Chains A and B, each alone.
Chain A
Amino acid sequence: MPSKTHVTATINGEEVEFLCEPHQSLLEVLRETLGLMGAKEGCNNGNCGSCNVILEGRLVNSCLVLAVEIQGKSVTTIEGIATPEGLHPLQQKFIEHAALQCGYCTPGFIVAAKALLDQNPNPSEHEVREWLAGNLCRCTGYDRIVKAVLDAADS
């Protein structure tokens, strides 16, 4: 068995150290090693977006990143979206608009939507739909998710 690699990274604004094997995905290490259970596994090959995190300011599927790759880098997960003052506007709008049913895809959608609004504060409906096309939701038909993101952009 290969020896474990020591990785130092910034996760949700805090410096974190962990040991991992090179084959472990970032998703696996977030969940199994660091106990950050908000990123979900839906497909484990980049097709559903449930494991979305923001890596160095860019949206990625954490199932398609090796944990060793984040050495020296910064990662934001769903656990880092709310502030000490309260929920992020996206989180608030998701609740208000009933933009979730089972909630399993929700962390991935909120992280993806945050990455969108960070770079495009006023997206059109089409831009929201295009951006969120890498995130699957099977409960809502997306209608309320799109509305929540548009409303969060307005507020």
Chain B
Amino acid sequence: MATLDKPSEYKVIGTSPLRHDGVDKVTGRAAYGADIRLPGMLYGAVLRSPHAHARIISMDTSEAEKLHGVHAVITAKDFPDLESRIVELGEGLVNRKYQSNNILARDKVLYFGHAVAAVAATSLHIAKEALDLIRVEYEALDPVMDVRKAMEAGSPILLDDLRTDEFGKKGETPTNIAGHYKDACGDIEKGFKEAKFIVEREFVTKMVHQGYIEPQNATAQYNPDGQVAIWCSTQGAFGVREQVAEILEIPISNIRVIPMEIGGGFGGKIGVYLEPLAALLSRKSGYRPVKLTMDRSEVLAATGPTSGSYIKVKMGADANGKITAAEALLIYEAGAYPGSPVGAGMGVIFAPYRIENGVIEGYDVVVNKPRTAAYRAPGGTNAAFAAETVMDELAEKLGMDPIEFRLLNGAQEGDRRVDGSAYKRIGYLETLEAAKESAHYKTPLSGPHTGRGVASGFWFNYGGKSSASVSVNKDGTVSLLEGSVDIGGTRTSLAMQLAETLGIPAEDVRPVVADTDSIGYTEGTYGSRTTFATGWAVYETARDLIEKLKERAAILWEVEKDKVTFESGVFSSGDKTLTFKELAEKLDETGGPVVASAAVQPKGYGPGFATHIVDVEVDPETGKVQILRYTAVQDVGKAIYPVYVESQIQGGVAQGIGWALNEEYLYDEQGRLLNTSLLDYRMPVALDLPMIDTILVEVANPGHPYGVRGVGEVPIVPPPAAIANAIYRAIGVRMTELPMSPARVVEALIHKP
């Protein structure tokens, strides 16, 4: 890891304390969702559709109900039959009827693995036996597996009530096109006329999964008074509470969600799958607690992977290398219900560049695949794969170095994206400069069939609502309650911001992730928001605490409060001083315990940019691509907890490499998912990857007290494009389809022009 040398004005921020939950996690003591065991607990299992597209003619659960040990069987009939209504749930807007039907199919199954019934029994073994006794009669329908076919007139329709949202207006005829969007600026025709070089290409990417190692799970305990407690693996406990409330039509005040440790999410654990089922099974089985866990095949077939896509990009540049026009069409798979991240893809596709004449069009299209969910910079990787490949080709035609070409056209403060939004202070050009000056880029690459590729990426990042509260302990430590689930070290990145503000060591903060009844509303750990927004809540909490402690010091010293000052952890008034710790010991004498809290909704989140460099070696006989060296340069704002910033980048890169080379959903002609195991859904293993070098560029975000930008998402955006560009340099073929699997590379070589 390299950072730009700069003396730090901070004592805690930018250091690397040991994470607070480290010992729990290396000893096997940390309690994840599946580790919950409650007295009298039952085990649930879910029956899933063997068809990709079928009407449910009838369902008979009577035999399953009779099986000894079975306590409850539920189908969609046990769910409220919800009217269509768009609600804000978790990350983004969803139609609650569709979400309910996704959790348990009502009239139709829309993808292989779609849940149709659930059972609770005294053991998992019995619950699974009971599934075999449920009779479901289906009328199989033709599956629609490709977005462009789904858009054709006469294609089988998935959702009878779906009408296209056409630039904000509803269409009138049944369709698979859920949405059609467009952004434009300048004069596109004029722009292409000014171009000396124009590159136009089509790209296809396949559905991929987040691949978190912990399968979804949920345990619910319903009480006869209508209160229900839910323990689960989620990125956001409050989001679970809202979704369960909407789907089961129960008040949010009746639901308490206790977020357990979470074994990875990457966007895939925002929406609920099992929680409403567990709650209902608990109620129906006489209020016994019920635990549901998915197995890996259920995770792959029936949670929320991210969209495959078809993208067309056309860009032009004049003789000097200035981009004169950029045009894109993005068609994204929504999966079974509307909601692909095509909008985000449209935002990402030309985001790093100054585009004076641009048109971006997008379609959200339903197909018979699982309803897509967020996946790290959702929609961004697909888009950047297309645009950054075209950028590379333009640079080649211009005879320019790909970094120089990007420097010439790179966006900076004041520039606007095609959708019109303007940038505040951003660090894109700084990432390009740092990449250009990196040891990696300056080291020549040699050897047969090797090549170096460069690509950039953008992500919006997000703010949202967060709360925090603290209490001061007698020994000078501080307990911190916060509502952000800790997926990758945020207990510590939050504790560090608290410690910095209070002038105490990070080790003196005890961070605890609280349940929905114990902390103020906090959005989920998504959108690269936790260190930013919950960090801000923590900062405000600390400031509130300092004011309250000044009052206590004033009492001790018998002075007016405004005569007490605070700096670097020391309260003083005249020649009297007390450290934070000394004052903490004296709280009982000044009125008892001190607590503070804050809730925020900051808007000043700053986007993240990254530029990646990769060296590959291609075996032209087998088509296999080996990653030789990788450097990721990223504007991280201020790196609060640098080792975990670096780890976020490395993890994003590794996922991007997997997406680039081998990961894809493979369906047969009937729409059945073929690769439902981690053997055949090929995520990178340790031997596939080199060390992943990072260069942290710190352009502080003016919209945060400590300059924080989100860091977690943008690192997955550039890798497929960077690797495609490297493959081109290695063997002279442009790869336009993901994954760039050995078979596709060989195929491309055979058809090399």
Do A and B form a real pair? yes
Interface membership of A19, Cβ < 8 A: no
Interface membership of A11, Cβ < 8 A: no
Tell me whether A143 and B644 are in contact in the complex, defined as CB-CB below 8 angstroms, given that A82-B27, A101-B489, A103-B21 are known contacts: no
Q: Which of the four size classes fits the interface of chain B?
A: 35 or more
Which of B16, B215, B488 contacts A41, CB < 8 Å?
A: B215
CB within 8 Å of B: which A18-69 residues: 21, 23, 31-32, 35-45, 47-48, 50
Among residues of B, the one whose C-beta sits closest to the C-beta of A39 is B28
Which of chain A's residues have a CB closer than 8 A to the CB of B679?
45, 47
Tell me whether A138 and B683 are in contact in the complex, defined as CB-CB below 8 angstroms, given that A81-B27, A91-B26 are known contacts: yes
Task: Quote the shortest CB–CB distance from B38 to chain A (angstroms).
Answer: 13
Tell me whether A139 and B28 are in contact in the complex, defined as CB-CB below 8 angstroms, given that A96-B18, A102-B212 are known contacts: no
Interface code B665-706, partner A: CB below 8 Å = 1, 0 otherwise? 000000000000111000111110101100000000000000
Which of A37, A130, A137 contacts B687, CB < 8 Å?
A: A130
Tell me whether A40 and B19 are in contact in the complex, defined as CB-CB below 8 angstroms, given that A102-B488, A103-B261 are known contacts: no
The answer to whether A100 touches B18 (Cβ under 8 A) is: no
Interface membership of B35, Cβ < 8 A: yes
Interface membership of A120, Cβ < 8 A: no
CB within 8 Å of A: which B18-36 residues: 18-19, 21-32, 34-35
The answer to whether A77 touches B28 (Cβ under 8 A) is: yes
Task: Quote the shortest CB–CB distance from A58 to chain B (angstroms).
Answer: 20
The answer to whether A98 touches B212 (Cβ under 8 A) is: no
A105 to B212, CA, bound (A): 10
The answer to whether B263 touches A103 (Cβ under 8 A) is: yes
Tell me whether A136 and B678 are in contact in the complex, defined as CB-CB below 8 angstroms, given that A104-B213, A141-B689, A146-B686 are known contacts: yes
The answer to whether A142 touches B686 (Cβ under 8 A) is: yes
The answer to whether A143 touches B28 (Cβ under 8 A) is: no
Which of chain A's residues have a CB closer than 8 A to the CB of B687?
126, 129-130, 132-133
The answer to whether A138 touches B213 (Cβ under 8 A) is: yes
CB within 8 Å of B: which A116-155 residues: 126, 128-130, 132-147
Which of chain A's residues have a CB closer than 8 A to the CB of B215?
41-42
Task: Quote the shortest CB–CB distance from B518 to chain A (angstroms).
Answer: 22
Which of chain B's residues have a CB closer than 8 A to the CB of A145?
686
Task: Quote the shortest CB–CB distance from B298 to chain A (angstroms).
Answer: 11
A102 to B214, CA, bound (A): 9
Which of chain A's residues have a CB closer than 8 A to the CB of B37?
32, 35
Contacts between chains A and B (CB distance < 8 A), count: 183
Among residues of B, the one whose C-beta sits closest to the C-beta of A82 is B27
Instruction: Please tell me which stretch of B417-425, B600-608, B647-655 contacts chain A, meaning at least 4 of its Cβ atoms lie within 8 angstroms of it.
Output: B647-655
A120 to B37, CA, bound (A): 38
Interface membership of A75, Cβ < 8 A: no
The answer to whether B654 touches A104 (Cβ under 8 A) is: no
Interface membership of B637, Cβ < 8 A: no
The answer to whether B18 touches A95 (Cβ under 8 A) is: yes
How many chain A residues touch the partner (CB < 8 A)? 60
Which of A31, A101, A147 contacts B488, CB < 8 Å?
A: A101
CB within 8 Å of A: which B638-666 residues: 643-644, 646-648, 650-655
Tell me whether A138 and B266 are in contact in the complex, defined as CB-CB below 8 angstroms, given that A37-B35, A41-B215, A45-B677 are known contacts: yes
Which of chain B's residues have a CB closer than 8 A to the CB of A134?
685
Which of chain A's residues have a CB closer than 8 A to the CB of B396?
none
Task: Quote the shortest CB–CB distance from A63 to chain B (angstroms).
Answer: 11
The answer to whether B651 touches A138 (Cβ under 8 A) is: yes
A37 to B655, CA, bound (A): 28
CB within 8 Å of B: which A61-92 residues: 77-79, 81-82, 87, 90-91
A82 to B646, CA, bound (A): 28
The answer to whether A98 touches B296 (Cβ under 8 A) is: no
Among residues of B, the one whose C-beta sits closest to the C-beta of A28 is B124
Interface membership of B211, Cβ < 8 A: yes
A77 to B262, CA, bound (A): 21
A39 to B34, CA, bound (A): 11
The answer to whether B213 touches A87 (Cβ under 8 A) is: no
Interface membership of B295, Cβ < 8 A: yes
The answer to whether A87 touches B678 (Cβ under 8 A) is: no
The answer to whether B264 touches A138 (Cβ under 8 A) is: yes
A15 to B24, CA, bound (A): 25
The answer to whether B263 touches A41 (Cβ under 8 A) is: no
Which of chain A's residues have a CB closer than 8 A to the CB of B684?
141-142
The answer to whether B651 touches A140 (Cβ under 8 A) is: yes
CB within 8 Å of A: which B267-318 residues: 293, 295-296
The answer to whether B32 touches A141 (Cβ under 8 A) is: no
A87 to B678, CA, bound (A): 31
Which of chain B's residues have a CB closer than 8 A to the CB of A9?
none
Task: Quote the shortest CB–CB distance from A5 to chain B (angstroms).
Answer: 15
The answer to whether B295 touches A79 (Cβ under 8 A) is: no
Which of A42, A130, A139 contacts B647, CB < 8 Å?
A: A139
The answer to whether B650 touches A136 (Cβ under 8 A) is: no
Tell me whether A138 and B23 are in contact in the complex, defined as CB-CB below 8 angstroms, given that A41-B215, A47-B679 are known contacts: no
Interface residues of B (CB under 8 A from A): 16, 18-19, 21-32, 34-35, 37, 125, 210-215, 261-266, 293, 295-296, 487-489, 643-644, 646-648, 650-655, 677-679, 683-687, 689, 691-692
- 23 A-B pairs with C-beta separation under 8 A: A31-B35, A35-B37, A40-B32, A40-B214, A47-B296, A87-B27, A101-B647, A102-B214, A102-B261, A103-B26, A104-B214, A104-B261, A105-B263, A126-B687, A133-B687, A135-B685, A136-B211, A136-B213, A139-B487, A140-B650, A142-B654, A143-B650, A143-B691
The 4 A-B residue pairs with the shortest CB-CB distance, nearest first, are A38-B28, A104-B263, A141-B654, A103-B25
Interface residues of A (CB under 8 A from B): 21, 23, 31-32, 35-45, 47-48, 50, 77-79, 81-82, 87, 90-91, 94-98, 100-107, 110, 126, 128-130, 132-147
